[in-house]
């Protein structure tokens, strides 16, 4: 476990770099995390991020297939929004723990 200042906020991170306290998340933190991996967030990104946060808070297991069936984006669009690891990077930016389905 480590700490890092992101968008002016001291946040706790897991060993994998995921936020450990969802309540610390903000859109500014999301923008900075996304920028670190070369993603510029759009309103569609935030739709996906908010969906992931809502599902995680409800205790739902997250998978690429489930996000693709959400009605927000299909699987191809999810890969377009978050290349090189759509669920891994979208979860990281959403401030939720790394999904168990991600390696």
* Reported pTM: 0.92
Position 102 scores a pLDDT of: 67
Is pLDDT at 103 greater than 70 in this prediction?
no
Nearest to 30 by CA among 86, 99, 94, 96: 94
Q: Is 9 a catalytic residue?
A: no
Element (H, E) at 86: helix 86-94
The answer to whether residues 91 and 66 touch, using CB atoms and an 8 Å cutoff, is no
Position 68 scores a pLDDT of: 92
- Per the structure block, which two tokens stand in for 17? 């770099």
* Tokens 């669009």 found at: 77
Summarised one tens digit per residue, pLDDT across range 21-60 is 999 999 999 999 999 999 999 999 999 999 999 999 999 8
Q: Measure the CA angle with vertex 57, ends 99 and 12; round to 5°.
A: 65
Summarised one tens digit per residue, pLDDT across range 52-85 is 999 999 998 889 999 999 999 999 999 999 998 8
**Catalytic pick among 6, 64, 78, 102:** 102
Position 53 scores a pLDDT of: 97
Nearest to 60 by CA among 87, 29, 86, 41: 87
Q: Where are the extended beta strands (E) located within the chain?
A: 2-6, 9-13
């Amino acid at each position: 476990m480590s700490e890092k200042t992101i968008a002016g906020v001291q946040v706790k991170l897991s060993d994998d770099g995921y936020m450990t306290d969802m309540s610390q998340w903000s859109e500014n933190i999301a923008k900075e995390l996304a920028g670190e991996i070369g993603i510029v967030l759009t309103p569609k990104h935030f739709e996906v991020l908010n969906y992931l946060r809502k599902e995680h808070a409800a205790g739902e297991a997250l998978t690429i297939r489930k996000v693709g069936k959400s009605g927000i984006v299909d699987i191809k669009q999810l890969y377009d929004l978050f290349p090189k690891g759509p669920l891994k990077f979208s979860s990281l930016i959403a401030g939720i723990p790394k999904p168990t389905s991600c390696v």
